[in-house]
Amino acid sequence: MNMKMKRSLFALLAATVASAASPVVDNQNLLESKVDSINAKRGLELGGSIRGVAQATYFDSDQDGTVKRMMPDVEKDEFVTADLDFHFRPYENVRANATMRLEAGMQEYFASAAKSISVAWINVEGNIGKSFYWIVGDFRQEYTPLTLFLPTVDIMYEPLVFERQRHMAQKSQFIEGNQRNLQGVNLQFRMMPNTSVGEIRAEALMARLNRAAVLDFSGAEGNVMTNAAMPGATQASNMDKWLAAGNFEMLPLNRNLYVGATGMFIFDDEDSFTYTDRHEENKLMNDYVREPINPYDLDAQQTLVVSGRVGGDVAGFLGNKNLTLDLVAEVAMSNDKVYTHTPTFVQDENGETVPGEELIEDSKESGMAILATLNAGYKTEVWGVKLLGNIIRNDSAWFNNAAQSPSFFAQRILNTDLDGNTVKYGVNSPLYSTFGALYSFNPKFSPVARSLGTDDAAFEDGQTESYNIANYNKNSWTTNVYGKSQLALLETLMDPALQMALPNGLATSNRFGGQGTLTANFKDFAEVQGLVTVLSQVKPMYGFEAVKYMEYGGGAKADIFKAIGFSKPLEISGSYKHSERKADLDPELGGAGTAELKSDFINGGLYVQYLPRLGVTGGVQLINTEYNTIQSNLSGLVAPLLKSKQMQWMVGLDYSIEKNAWLAVNFGIITVSNEYNTKALVEANKAGEPMETGTVKGGVFNIPDYYDVSKDKSGKYKNEFSQTIIEASLNVEF
Amino acid sequence: MNFNMKNRTIALTSALLFSAASAFAAGAQDSVVQEQKSLLQKLDSLQESVIGLKLNGTAKAGALASLAKSDQFSDDSPTHETQAYTDVNLLLTARPSSETMVTLQLRLHKDWQSGFDENNNPVIGHWFSYDGSILNKHLDFNLGYMRVAYTPLTLFAPQPFLLQEPEIFAQERIEALAQRNLDTTSRRLLQGLNVDYHSGQLGSIVDDVHAQLTGARLRNTAKKTDQLFFDFDFSDRYFYAGRLGVGIMGAKLGVNYTDVFDRTLSRESRGLQSGDTVYYEDNSLISVELGFDSKKLLPTLPVTFGLDGEFAMSKWSAEMEYFAAIREKMYTIAQGAVIDENGNQVNTIYVSTEDQPGDTEYKEDVGETDGNAFYVTPYVKADIAGIEADLKATYLKTDKDFWSEMASAPNYRGGSIILNSNALYSNEIYSSAIGAFGMSSLENLYLSVYNSNPLNATNLLTSQPLVNALSNTDESQYLYSKLYNNYKNAHFYRNGYDAGTIKRLELEQAVFTLDPTVNMALPFGLATPDRNGFNVSFNATWNDAVTLNAYFAQIKQDSVSVDLATGAAIENTYTEFAVGGNVDIGRLANLDRKILLQGSYDHAEEKEFLKRKSDRIMGGASADVWGPFAFQAGIQMAKTQFENELPVTAFSTITNVEEMFVLAGPKVRIAPNSYLTVQYGMLTDKMNLNTYAIGVDADGKETLVQGTEEISINKNVIIADVTVNF
């Protein structure tokens, strides 16, 4: 009986023969807890968000006539996600927060499988006085771009119709700006004794970045590369990985000067190294073997990062409110334990040479990173201009995974049932599109088995190399803190159209150069922007003499109706950005020539409101990427990519209540045309050994299964396909 | 949400706070206690009369790190295990009227990490019930989850006997119990319906007429063949019970009836396969209870006396159903040829016999037994000159064949490895002994682990496909095609407590795994079969500041085992004694804070069978130091000897177990009923084993080689957490 149960919870000690505390103290505790409990009704707040998407994508390619397609070429993702935030404030200085995620797939035939309630976020927090704040459980934190940071992808003047899709995809992953989502203890102290001392901030946190827990290698989640026996492939950790950090900042002279220092230690607790028993190669007929939870990443991380920074707000000193002029310089050092594994060979009892135990040696590797940021600008009531400049110099040995783990890891999202075996290769999968990766998501996707039938045997045959036939979350956005080998693997899976120059944000290692963005506005209805990035690798990759990055572009947006005095907006926007990487082969190693990778990204957007809250949105995006012969051969693929043209357009009607509350119905088409060098396939066919495409085996996973070598005369193959999208979305944040 | 109540509750809260403050200013502590009690009643009635939906609960976040060390660990064994978690127990109560209430408890748990996405970390429904007190509070009912007890021989949950358990340990135990939805009372956790009627005073003679009906489902059959969960059985098992009672002038008379049975038909939803055996058990019981308390008749006397007694008759029966392969002779007429006496080949016909395999389902009785049990507890209580004392004696006698399932199964089971369960041992003797015996008593009593882990091939149990889930627990050949993409989590326990009841035949297999250091003489409470003896307990408290406890028991068991030579039953005698006490120095010295010291020693031993001897000594301190800072500490040492070795595996036995647990640390009150706790603990566990192996003697003959081993594991435990009640 619950009433009694609750009472007994408080009276438990008395119920045992154990204790006989003073009745006054007991009663006092009871009294306070009851008063407190009544207070809790006062301190309850509810918040949250509701997101609903009904989206159908129709895949089409004129080239797939030769293949009898067994898998559906239409994907319908329909879901509603409600995040309910409970904030309990039983007393002035403590709070408990919990977010429950309620998910429903839109069908009613068998309801239970489609609905779930999960725990998305829980913590307790509080404050002591007005200066000290603590939080235990889930929290977000960002220090600086070189210390603790979540690097993201910038798209200049992204059309509203796409920006909203990205907003939903990111929110679905609980991403807030550049803050990293962590779980642990976070302490913050803020004080401003007087204006000359300014503000003092002292912060410390301890978070567990990973725990020794078994994950399946075959799952879509928990793996960077499913079913791949290589370092970085699985995110399962052999050891508990911890982050301990302290941050101190002072803003003296009325907050116009800035001095800061951060120390961070990321380490694996080696004494927690745990083993598990598995059937060898995931085959039941094989015996169980005891092996590390993650047999591909055995090395314990030990990384120390220290950072110091100074800055000044010149405009603040001058007291000029029209002027922006501040400069911050940060120097960070990392000291990381690195390992070399040397295979050894021994003679067995028969005198044969067999592999022996690996020889593992470790040493410390230090790296430095420098970041100087300038903010300069001037504004009047009519116009304004501002310049944001960053200069970086990050050593190749600079390493800090708490700042380098990117928030965008390009995934195959739309029509994944079609190339299920190869979707794990992300950007290298045959039907990848940048737009699908950036803008689409499904928090609870139910894949189709690759064989017909619903019995166990059919299900076994129906498994893919990229995921189990079970629900998973399709989303390229993440706040995972990756390990070193995972980051190395991610580097090979970056989308060059989005992440070429600084894939790991301003903390990307091995970069030297600058980045500048100049923005000018006229009143609040017109803005233009120009961007230039020039970077080079501090220590060129092996085999190259020099590696250089260049980005430039510009864009503008204007609200035409506002300019002519209408109350409702008619916004147009457009941007162009060119990114390129040039890598000169090292002549000392016998190389000659330059590997070139170029990509152009064009955006055009329109938003017009014709009735209160009712509007039309439209957007078009184009991406052209080109690889020269040397660059394409660097991929190591049998049939490397030479050119990729991607276009997406979308138009829609929307009903906007406020910035993040809308109902929209959109229609759009993504078209992709990828040209590959297929000489090796043609030659293999001529030699009577045709190679299978669209499968994991044989290294031709990037060419679709409908590729027909008999029609390939030139050794160049153009894969063209389109995805037609019909989408209705609802987003409400309250 | 009861938003419209906001203003009113604020006003009431202020008034109550003011009242409480003035009460403390009043002076004399007795009157303070009285006023506090009155306030508590007001608050209770205030809470209970608020109609609408309420949200309360507890949030706890922190870490428990266990740093283990043992010479018996292998070189590559993990030695650190850290639980780092946030856990919320959300309590939703809805009152459609002031008389009834719906209660829903949800458990939210996250284990800290941000290295990979955890997508579906489910919210677990921990408690669902609809409770009420209707008909002018004469009829209480519970539907759904409930905790119910009748009498010690009928429906009851025996609790471990831990005299003067230090507060710091008691809190840990309460937490471990709560994870399993249990508490420290003797009420049994059930799911079903309970209706309880009390007439109240009728005229001047009848104190109360009482009637109660209870029904619950204890187990149910597995609903899926491909996944084996831990809380299913091969058939549904139901419990129903009723009781009637009347109280007259302080005396009471009651009749209780309970019945537990397996619903045979529910097994038939799955076909039996060759090799399967299923047992069905039925256990019914009728008891008469009698009691008297002088308080009613002689309310002004400082001394009260009384008596409680019960006589019960039990009936137990079991049958088994199994599927076995048989071989039948098949006779057929065949044609052949023989050589006759003249040497010619002639045709003939003959009868051919052939073995024909076949499977048959059998059902047969395993046994049926009846038994009686009886106990009587006279007591006397006194409240003189600030001293409250009670003296209680119990005489009990239970037959060998007495069986009361619903009163027997203790919630504390022990035998688990709670911390560092992933440790690896340097040889098979150690790992199998620890695997079978588990870690010892203290780790099981006080520590618990609760995780939410992604479902994967190592924790997703699957059975053979297309075969029933009865006894075939092999892995499914489709295991790897039934994985969940690491997408879905499930909650996992490592806990020494269990809410389930145990059937008699199961208990015969499990009897060795029950922790012998608690309740050696009466492991199933007063319902323990085959016991005959008495116990006496004495407790005295002076001014709520000094407490003394003493306990003695001597109980016989007629037949603990059989003498292999003579076939005669071996009699066993259990002797237990315990003394303990506590002193609240703060109260003695009239300080406004608690400074409580506790201590106890208990000893239990048996004369025959395993000849176990168990000693437990514990001491503790809880002190309010300054303002919100308090300090708690506890030490407990337990030792169990098995003079006749306890077999744990085929090649090892346990002879001696010694344990110690020290736990201490500050407790800081950060808000009313919200605490920051930091504790350091040291847990040592030492086991002595005898080992047996087949060796070869000097003559080359096989011989039994005996050896000894010691397993010694030390664990440094660090607990740091924040608890917020809301």
- Domain ranges, ordered by start, for chain B: 1-50
Q: A7 to each of A10, A17, B17, B183, B596, how far by Cα in Å?
A: 5, 17, 20, 11, 23
Residue A111 has pLDDT above 70, yes or no: no
Non-local (6+) Cβ contacts of A443 within 8 A are A79, A81, A103, A172, A473, A474, A475, B119
CB neighbourhood size of B217 (10 A): 13
User: Contact, B652 vs B704, CB < 8 A?
Assistant: no
Interface of B with A in 583-602 (CB under 8 A): 584, 586-587, 593-594, 596, 598
B603 is written with which tokens?
């000893």
d(CA A448, CA A75): 10
Sequence-ordered list of residues with C-beta below 8 angstroms from that of A113, at least 6 positions apart, any chain: none
List, as one string, the DSSP characters of A149-178: -------TT--HHHHHHHHHHHHHTT--TT
Dihedral sign for Cα atoms in the order A267, A268, A270, A271: positive
| pLDDT tens digits, B182-220 | 999 999 999 999 999 999 999 989 999 999 999 999 988
Token pair belonging to B224: 């899926």
Judged against a pLDDT cut of 60, whether residue A14 lies above it is answered with: no
Name the band, by pLDDT with cuts 50, 70 and 90, for residue B2: very low
**Residue written as token pair 């003249």:** B342
Residue B636 CB-half CA count within 13 A: 28
Q: How far apart are CA A359 and CA B84, in angstroms?
A: 34
Inter-chain touch B108–A20, beta carbons under 8 Å: no
Query: What sign does the CA torsion over A696, A702, A706, A707 have?
Result: negative
Contacts of B453 in chain A (CB under 8 A): 213-214
Contact A241 B480 (CB under 8 A): no
User: If pLDDT is split at 50, 70 and 90, which confidence band does B46 have?
Assistant: low
Share of chain A above pLDDT 90, in %: 73
Contact B481 A460 (CB under 8 A): yes
Chain A residue with the nearest C-alpha to that of B541: A20
| Whole-angstrom distance, CA of residue B686 vs CA of residue B657 | 6
Alpha carbons A244 and A266: distance in angstroms, whole number? 6
Please write the tens of the pLDDT for every residue from B567-611: 888 999 999 999 999 999 999 999 989 999 999 999 999 999 899
3-state secondary structure A694-708: CCCHHHCCCCCCCCC
Least confident stretch, A145-159, B163-177, B698-712: B698-712
Closest to B487 (Cβ–Cβ): which among A25, A36, A472? Answer: A472
CA atoms within 13 A on the CB side of A77: 30
Give me the total of CB pairs closer than 8 Å, taking one residue from chain A and one from chain B. 407
Determine the residue type at B259. D
- A175/B13 Cα distance (integer angstroms): 39
Q: Say what the pLDDT of residue B461 is.
A: 64
Contact call for residues A706 and A649 (beta carbons, < 8 A): no
Question: Which among A136, A444, A471 is the top mutation candidate for probing chain B, defined by the most B β-carbons within 10 Å of its own β-carbon?
Answer: A136
On whether any CB of chain A is under 8 Å from the CB of B43, the answer is: yes
Do A28 and B36 count as a contact with CB atoms less than 8 A apart? yes
CA distance A333 to A147: 10
A90 interfacial to chain B (CB closer than 8 Å): yes
Residue B172: both structure tokens together: 């840990």
Is the predicted pLDDT of residue A19 greater than 90, yes or no?
Answer: no
Nearest residue of B to residue A134, measured between CA atoms = B722
One-letter amino acid for residue B163 of the chain: L
CA distance A147 to chain B (A): 17
A181 touches chain B (CB under 8 A): yes
Secondary structure of residue A502 in the 3-state scheme: coil
- Cα distance between residue A593 and residue A70, in whole Å: 45
Q: Smallest Cβ distance to A25: which of B54, B110, B594?
A: B594
In chain B, which residue's Cα lies nearest the Cα of A477? Answer: B117
Q: How confident is the model at residue A405 (pLDDT cuts 50, 70, 90)?
A: very high
How far A414 CA sits from the closest chain B CA (Å)?
A: 18
pLDDT reported for residue A13: 28
Amino acid at A70: M
**Residue A76 distance to chain B (closest CA, Å):** 20
Q: What is the pLDDT of residues B211-238, one digit of tens each?
A: 999 999 998 876 655 455 555 677 899 9
Q: Considering Cα of B322, then B323, then B327, then B330, what sign does the dihedral take?
A: positive
Q: What is the DSSP string of A626-677?
A: EE-HHHHHHT--SS-EEEEEEEEEEEEEEEEEETTEEEEEEEEEEEEEEEEE
Predicted pLDDT of residue A36: 60
Quote the DSSP letter at residue B73. Answer: B
User: Are residues B115 and A180, on separate chains, in Cβ contact within 8 Å?
Assistant: no
Calculate how close chain A gets to B569, using CA atoms only, in Å: 36
User: A581 to chain B nearest CA, in Å?
Assistant: 31
Mean pLDDT of A414-426: 93
Our CA dihedral for A340, A345, A348, A352, rounded to 10 degrees, sits at: 150
Q: Does B366 touch chain A (CB under 8 A)?
A: no
Q: Please, where are the H alpha helices in B301-453? A: 405-408, 428-437, 441-446
Q: How many other CB atoms are there within 10 angstroms of residue B75's CB atom?
A: 6
Q: What is the value of ipTM here, to two decimals?
A: 0.90
Cα-Cα-Cα-Cα torsion A178, A181, A184, A190, nearest 10 degrees, comes to 30
Question: Least CB-CB distance to B6: which of A8, A42, A88?
Answer: A42
Interval B370-375 mean pLDDT: 97
- What is the pLDDT at residue B457? 87
Question: Cα B303–B308–B313 angle (5° rounding)?
Answer: 175
Looking at the complex, report in whole angstroms how far the Cα of residue B359 sits from the nearest Cα belonging to chain A: 26
> Shortest CA distance to B408 belongs to which of B554, B260, B536?
B260
List all residues of chain B from 454 to 473 with a beta carbon under 8 Å from chain A.
454, 456-459, 465-466
For residue A607, the model assigns a pLDDT of: 95
> In terms of Cα–Cα distance, which of A529, A672, A649, A554 is closest to A161?
A649
Helix-helix angle B29-49:B6-25, to 10 degrees: 170
The answer to whether A424 contacts chain B (CB < 8 Å) is no
Name the minimum distance, in Å, from the CA of B607 to any CA of chain A: 27
CA dihedral A141, A147, A153, A155 (to 10 degrees): 90
CB contact under 8 A, A21 and B584: yes
Quick check: B454 and A222 CB within 8 A? yes
Angle at A17 between CA A16 and CA A23, to 5 degrees: 80
From B162's Cα to the closest Cα of chain A, the distance in A is 7
Evaluate if residue B108 carries a pLDDT over 70. yes
The reply to whether A219 touches chain B by the CB within 8 Å rule is yes
Contacts of B241 (CB under 8 A, 6+ apart): B150, B154, B155, B212, B213, B214, B215, B256, B257, B258, B259, B406
Q: What is B390-415 written as a DSSP string?
A: EEEEEEEEE-TT---HHHH--SB---
Over residues A632-679, the pLDDT tens digits come to 998 889 999 999 999 999 999 999 988 889 999 999 999 999 999 999
pLDDT in tens, B269-288: 777 777 778 899 999 999 99
Instruction: Tell me the residues of chain A between 126 and 145 that have a Cβ less than 8 Å away from chain B.
Output: 126, 136-138
Average of per-residue pLDDT values in chain B: 88
pLDDT in tens, A677-722: 999 999 999 999 999 998 888 779 999 988 989 999 899 999 999 9
Give the relative orientation of helices A2-15 and A23-42 as an angle to the nearest 10 degrees: 150
Q: Is B569 on the interface with A (CB under 8 A)?
A: no
Q: Which residues pair with A63 in a beta bridge?
A: none
- Residues in contact with B427: Cβ distance below 8 Å, sequence separation at least 6, in sequence order: B72
A8 and B185 within 8 Å at the Cβ level: the answer is yes
Greater model confidence, A348 or B578: B578
Q: Has residue A63 got a pLDDT over 60?
A: yes
Say yes or no to pLDDT of A621 above 90. yes
What is the 8-class DSSP label of residue B122? Answer: B
Chain A residues within 8 A of B13 when measuring between CB atoms: 35, 38-39, 42
The partner residue sitting opposite A33, judged by closest CB among B480, B486, B673, is B673
- Judged by a CB distance cut-off of 8 A, whether residue B629 touches chain A is no
Residues 155-174 of A with CB under 8 A from B: 173
List pLDDT tens digits, range A287-329: 889 999 999 999 999 999 999 999 999 999 999 999 999 999 9
Cβ separation of A91 and B117 shorter than 8 Å?
A: no
- Measured CA to CA, the distance from residue B160 to residue B408 in angstroms comes to 12
Q: Sort out which chain B residues have CB atoms less than 8 A from A17's CB and list them.
A: 161-165, 539, 549
Contact A10, A33 (CB under 8 A): yes
**Chain B residues touching residue A14 (CB < 8 angstroms):** none
Question: A433-447: per-residue pLDDT in tens?
Answer: 999 999 999 999 989
Query: CB under 8 Å to A633, separation ≥6 — which residues?
Result: A640
Whether B265 contacts chain A with CB within 8 A: no
Q: Is B716 on the interface with A (CB under 8 A)?
A: no
